[in-house]
Amino acid sequence: MEFSTTENRQMIAQAVRDLVEREVRPNLMDWDESQHMPIDLFKKHFGPAGMLGVLVPEEYGGAGLGYHEYVDTIVEVARVCGSIGLSVAAHNSLCTGHIMYFGNDEQKKRWLPKLATGEWLGAWALTEAGTGSDAMRMATTARKDGEEWVLNGTKNWITHGISGDVVVVIARTGELLDSKGMTAFVVERGTPGLKGGKKENKLGMRASETAEVIFDECRIPEANVLGEIGQGFQQAMKVLDGGRISIAALALGIAKGALDASVAYSKERHQFGKPISEFQAISFKLADMATRIEASELLIRQASDMKNKGQRMTKESAMAKYYASEVSVYASTEAVQIFGGYGYTKDFPVEKFYRDSKLCTIGEGTSEIQKLVISREVLR
């Protein structure tokens, strides 16, 4: 397993860090308070910087990089703002990733250049109000009508559900509970019958738009079917293997941000005539945070290395996502404790890390679902 930091990776991480410090940090609390998703940030800055097509081959307008560089990108964004990191992750690994892995050459040429350059923002629609982890009971349907498919139903908890320019949607084309009864489709914004619904008012990740996507007799051509009819569920599961690395990287970035803030504060804050970093109660908290964060990163790098090599990594990505997300909650909770009363105010960054971190244990498969995946793999 080879994942040592190269000079090229250091340059990419520094470039992302500089961009985020300049364009995100001064605005992050205003965006959080107002639940404003800064679309211009993605289209004018992140897209041209290659951050929205990290894994997309250069022939389709992307950066043509691997999963280690992708993880570096997410981490550097999330250690400043989890909300923006979440949007970058969802755009790259879910919508763009699904088209990249399962689209034909014509479909890739049609959609990937716009997604990779930030001209278009992507959304990925699997979850419904009554079917989270139980995706095979989805109610959204697609029926064939001549040369077209007609979509009906509502998807929930969709990142960029209102603002996304293109949506990859998984709909039922066969019988309920049939794993080969679902198909993936690409729907462009502006298609009659496609509209955004309710925007969620969330605890954290408030600058990342989460909303319903509604399909009402939405007609799309046969050319918008991704892969084979009936293979949508299998495709989605493979996409989620990579998506788990994304959320793990997001969690890692949040945890690193919480640790960075805690170390700096512990050196500045004085009590009883000395910095609180000199008290064992605080220094041991920092030691535990740093150790768990390091372990998280090793799990993530292992899964990324396997993904780069085209190896099956269902267990490894689930382990990375499960552990890193729980560590993110742990680290941000400890950060609030280290800051004391100040950590409970919005004048300091750790309360936002605390709020944002919780989503990582829920989105793209809860911690309980990750343990189910891991245990099944262990017992194979």
Specify the CATH number for the domain of residue 48: 1.10.540.10
Q: What percent of the chain has pLDDT over 70?
A: 99
Q: Please state the rounded mean pLDDT for residues 326-353.
A: 98
Residue 169 lies in a domain: yes
- Residue 221 within a domain: yes
Last residue of a domain, one of 230, 260, 278: 230
CATH number of 188's domain: 2.40.110.10
Domain that holds residue 95: 7-121
- Give the mean model confidence (pLDDT) for residues 319-334: 98
Residue 142 shares a structural domain with residue 237: no
Mean pLDDT value across the chain: 97
| Distance in angstroms (rounded) separating the CA atoms of residues 17 and 108 | 30
Same domain for 187 and 263, yes or no, is no
pLDDT level of residue 2 (50, 70, 90 thresholds): low
Q: Which of 15, 17, 37 is nearest to 27 (CA)?
A: 37
Give the mean pLDDT of 259-272.
98
pLDDT for the residue 135 = 83
Model confidence pLDDT, tens digit, residues 154-208: 999 999 999 999 999 999 999 988 989 999 999 999 999 999 999 999 999 999 9
Q: How high is the pLDDT of residue 132?
A: 81
In this structure, are 149 and 237 located in the same domain? no
- pLDDT at residue 286 above 70? yes
| Residue 90 shares a structural domain with residue 150 | no
Instruction: Tell me, yes or no, whether 222 and 296 share the same domain.
Output: no
185 with 241, same domain: the answer is no
**Mean pLDDT across the stretch 8-30?**
97
pLDDT for residue 324 is more than 70: yes
Residue 216 — very low, low, confident or very high, per pLDDT cuts 50/70/90? Answer: very high
> 243 and 348 in one domain?
yes
In a domain, 1, yes or no: no
Average pLDDT estimate for 85-104: 98
Q: How many domains does the chain have?
A: 3
Does the structure show a pLDDT above 90 at 5? no
Look at residue 266 and tell me if it is in a domain. Answer: yes
Residue 2 domain-assigned? no
Q: How confident is the model at residue 321 (pLDDT cuts 50, 70, 90)?
A: very high
Residue 281 pLDDT: 98
pLDDT of residue 300: 98
Residues 167 and 146 in one domain: yes
Question: Is 336 inside any structural domain?
Answer: yes
pLDDT, mean of residues 206-224: 98
Boundary residue ending a domain (230, 257, 283): 230
In a domain, 250, yes or no: yes
pLDDT band for position 6 (cuts 50, 70, 90): confident
Residues marked as catalytic: 364
The verdict on 106 and 138 lying in the same domain is no
- 187 and 116 belong to one structural domain: no
- Are 14 and 114 members of one domain? yes
- Average pLDDT (85-114) is 98
Any domain includes 72? yes
**Residues 246 and 276 grouped into a single domain:** yes
Indicate whether 3 pLDDT > 70. no
> Which of 121, 153, 183 is at the close of a domain?
121
Residue 219 has pLDDT above 80, yes or no: yes
State residue 177's pLDDT score: 87
Query: How does pLDDT run across 348-357, given as a tens digit for each residue?
Result: 999 999 999 9
pLDDT of 134 reads: 84
Assign residue 285 the CATH number of its domain: 1.20.140.10
Tens of pLDDT along 104-153?
Answer: 999 999 999 999 999 999 999 999 998 888 888 999 999 999 999 999 99
